[in-house]
Amino acid sequence: MIGFLRGRVLMVTTTDVLLDTGGVGYTVFLPKRLLATIAPQSELELFIHTHVSDTAITLYGFPHYPELELFRLLITVSGIGPKTALGVLSTGNPATISAALSHQDVSFFTAIPGIGTKGAQKIIIELKNKFTDQDFDFQSQQLTSQGIDALVNLGFSKDEARAAFISTDSSLTLTERLRLALNQLHHHG
């Protein structure tokens, strides 16, 4: 089972990307809100859900692990398949979806193609108690990505940057975490 892919984007369509990972091209379906931000030839890292059916093996990709977790939680709901779950994640990030669940916002889910009132109610009933907002802390994930990207832009490798930034206290601001990570990288380098 494929769990993570890193590679160069060869092509972007309205539903997926073709990702070159060392000479092998994978078609990966992504949330629509993410597709709009991806340019061909850019580097992309995705957490992957591999869906196996009688007719195909389909890959669904997410830039942050909490999105993958939420996707997997959504497909546990009877009647919600991967395409519909991807539609939910195309509509909002984990924080907004979590808020819709905790506020039992049926209209949020019925606005998604393929989900009617009964389906929305089923999603809310089955998932509202399964997690809290903290389980899908999207802002923290975004902050980590920004920190790692900033360190990479300063000339450090992605692996060095990730290790240094993740080792800092997550309750600090981005600037404070970057300062600590830079100190750590300069002392080890």
Residue range 158-173: mean pLDDT, rounded? 79
What is the structure's pLDDT at 87?
A: 95
Which part of the chain is CATH 1.10.150.20? 66-131
Q: Does the pLDDT of residue 169 top 90, yes or no?
A: no
Kindly give the interhelix angle for 117-127 and 65-74, rounded to the nearest 10 degrees.
Answer: 120
Look up the pTM and report it: 0.70
What is the structure's pLDDT at 22?
A: 93
Which part of the chain is CATH 2.40.50.140? 4-62
Q: Does the pLDDT of residue 188 top 80, yes or no?
A: no
Mean residue pLDDT of the chain comes to 87
Tell me the CA distances in angstroms from 2 to 28, 48, 58, 85, 158, one per residue in order. Answer: 11, 6, 10, 19, 21
Write down the architecture of domain 4-62 according to CATH. Beta Barrel (2.40)
Which part of the chain is CATH 1.10.8? 138-188
* CATH annotation of 66-131: 1.10.150.20
SS3 content of the chain, % helix, strand, coil (to 5): 50, 20, 30
Answer for the pair 150, 180: CB distance below 8 angstroms, yes or no: no
Q: Does the pLDDT of residue 175 top 60, yes or no?
A: yes
Residue range 78-96: mean pLDDT, rounded? 90
What's the token pair of residue 6? 């890193």
Answer for the pair 65, 141: CB distance below 8 angstroms, yes or no: yes
What top-level class would CATH report for the domain 138-188? mainly alpha
Out of 3-12, 17-26, 81-90, 96-105, pick the least confident.
96-105
- Provide the terminal-to-terminal Cα distance of the chain, rounded to the nearest Å: 36
Q: Select from 50, 68, 49, 48 the least CA-distant residue to 4.
A: 48
